[in-house]
Amino acid sequence: MSTPPTLTINVEFGGGLELLFANQRKYQLSIPVLIPPDTTATPPSGSAPPPILSKPADITFLIRYLKENHLKERPELFVEGETVRPGILVLVNDTDWELEGEGDYALKEGDEIVFISTLHGG
């Protein structure tokens, strides 16, 4: 079996979020082109296994991927449910992700995704 195709993206953390990721601001990641099937979900007993949906990797997947692979402490400061916690700005190539479809944005080779915590100090 060949290894599934991957795409390379750059992820950066700012505004203090890097402290949750081993104080490392920049990551270059190889992530699967297609979202791997969720192995944690149990299929209803007696029914056939669900078909494997080949959905392209999106930012919602990236958030989960970062949480599972790189987040070092206090996950509640990064994620809330399937998305980022309130007060975190997500940028897709320097544009607010809201203009790009938010979590549904399908990642492309070479994309730069930035997570920035809003500051309130003065």
Partner 1 sequence: MDKGDKLPLEDYKRYGRQMILEGFGLSGQLKLQKASVVVVGAGGLGCPALQYLAAAGVGRLGIIDHDVVETSNLQRQILHNEQTVGMHKTESAAQAVRKINSRIKVDVITEPLSSLNATRVLQDYDIILDCTDNTPTRYLLSDTAVALGKPLVSGAAQRFHGQLCVYNLGPDGLCLRCLFPRPPTQTGTCEETGILGAVTGVIGNLQALEAIKIITGLHEKEPSMLIFSALGSPPFRSIKLGSKKPTCPACGKEGKKIGEIHEFDYVQFCGGPAPDWETQGLTDSEPGFRISVKELHNRLEGGDRLNVIDVRPRTEFGICQLPGSINVPLGELTANPSTYLPEDDKIETFIVCRLGNDSQIAAETLRSLDKDSPGTNKRTIKDVIGGLRAWSKDVDENFPVY
Please say which residue, 36 or 87, places its beta carbon nearer to partner 1.
Answer: 87
118 scored as a contact of partner 1 (CB under 8 A): yes
22 scored as a contact of partner 1 (CB under 8 A): no
How far from 66 is each of 45, 50, 72, 83, CA to CA, in Å? Answer: 31, 26, 10, 12
Nearest approach, Cβ of residue 49 and partner 1 (Å): 37
From the list 85, 101, 104, 108, which residue makes contact with partner 1 (rule: CB under 8 A)?
Answer: 85
79 scored as a contact of partner 1 (CB under 8 A): no
Nearest approach, Cβ of residue 67 and partner 1 (Å): 16
114 scored as a contact of partner 1 (CB under 8 A): yes
51 scored as a contact of partner 1 (CB under 8 A): no
Nearest approach, Cβ of residue 95 and partner 1 (Å): 5
